[in-house]
Structure 1
Amino acid sequence: MPQQPQPGRTSRTRPTTRLIRGAALAASLALLPLATACSGGTDDAAMNSDPSKISAAPAAGVVAPAKVEVIAQLTGCKPKIRIEADELRQGLCHTPKVDYLITTFPEEKYKQTWLESAAIYGGKYLVGSRWIVSAKEPKMLEEFRSKLGGTIQQLRGIGPTPAPKAS
């Protein structure tokens, strides 16, 4: 026998239930762009990279590719956006341990151009799918790598190289 509504009660859902449903809907809509950005397609960097050099950081699925703010949050800072252009976005993170830059690119080709340009300066960079992290203290890149994934690339630079330090 079907249950009859009790007198004095309407068949409307409770406010708490509506809030929970609304929160679940908002959360799923917030994650939708990240899920669709990580499509099954491959790009040149993925085909040319050595799988043994790529770490599987737990958060790497969220990072590749991502916004400056997402990467900054994973590394523990709130970035100050320095560059907002069609080719890239760059944010500065300042923490008690280290200052570092997070650069994201709308396409892989812009990342490759940036790396080629940075090669004249040399240095170490943490490189991921359409993002790069550069730090004043290169040793911090290993810590970031465990959170973000990617590979650490040493760019040679031009000019004389410093003499080896005496041990």
Structure 2
Amino acid sequence: MPEQQPLGSIGRKESFASARRLAVVGSLVFLPLATACGGGEDRATESSTVSAAPAAGVVAPAKVEVIAGLTGCKAKIRIEADELRQGLCHTKKADYLITTFPEEKYKRTWLDSASVYGGTYLVGSRWVVSAEPELLGAFREKLGGTIRRLQGMGPTQGS
């Protein structure tokens, strides 16, 4: 009779893989919530604004907690996966998301997915901040990065 693997170890591997997929999908589900208040921007174009060096003189490393500290909050980690980490910042001014990636390719994939929803983001090396456009300029002064407006699909306001 062939030797069988214990059922528990197979179930754990499948559970872990399912949890990772769920985390990535979950981040995309919450993306419209983070960008829903974009209000009337032209979603038909993608633009970039390159910033000068941040006020601190360094570009924020790709770590949610460090970026959150530089923006004046303590992030609550919502997603912890191999492909990304995401934290929610809640301040008096606004709520915003900080997403970090272990490699640039994961950030590019995330941005490609986010372009379906449109919106404006602050994008750095292996990180993205999803916030109201009014906040992104101040964050750029502290973090560096590029403000990118992504085109969305579907009707815009007034259509």
TM normalised by structure 2 equals: 0.66
**Partner of 1:27 in structure 2?**
none
Q: Which runs of 4+ in 1 moved over 6 A?
A: none
Task: Give the aligned CA root-mean-square deviation in angstroms.
Answer: 1.8
Q: Distance in 1 between matches of 2:133 and 2:51?
A: 18
User: Which structure has the larger Rg over C-alpha atoms?
Assistant: 1
Deviation at 1:138, TM superposition (A): 1.6
3-state SS, counterpart of residue 136 of structure 2: helix
**Is 2:145 the counterpart of 1:150?**
yes
Q: Between Structure 1 and Structure 2, which shows a larger proportion of strand residues?
A: 2
User: What runs of 5+ residues in structure 1 fail to find an aligned partner?
Assistant: 1-51
> What is the aligned partner in structure 2 of residue 16 from structure 1?
none
Please name the residue that 1:81 is paired with.
77
**Paired position in structure 1 for 2:115:** 119
2:89: which partner in 1? 93
Conserved? CA contact 1:125–1:132, under 8 Å: yes
Alignment partner, residue 106 of structure 2 = 110
Letter in 2 for 1:74: L
Percent identity at matched positions?
Answer: 72
Are the equivalent residues in 2 in contact too, given 1:55–1:151 (CA < 8 A)?
A: no
Quote the offset at 1:66 in angstroms.
2.5
List gaps (5 residues or longer) in structure 2: 1-48
Change (3 A) 1:60 1:103: farther
Name the counterpart of 1:58. 55
Larger relative contact order, structure 1 or 2 (CA cutoff 8 Å, min sep 6): 2
Where 2:110 maps in the other structure, the secondary structure is helix
Within 2, Cα distance between the matches of 1:163 and 1:82? Answer: 34
* 1:131 and 2:143 aligned: no
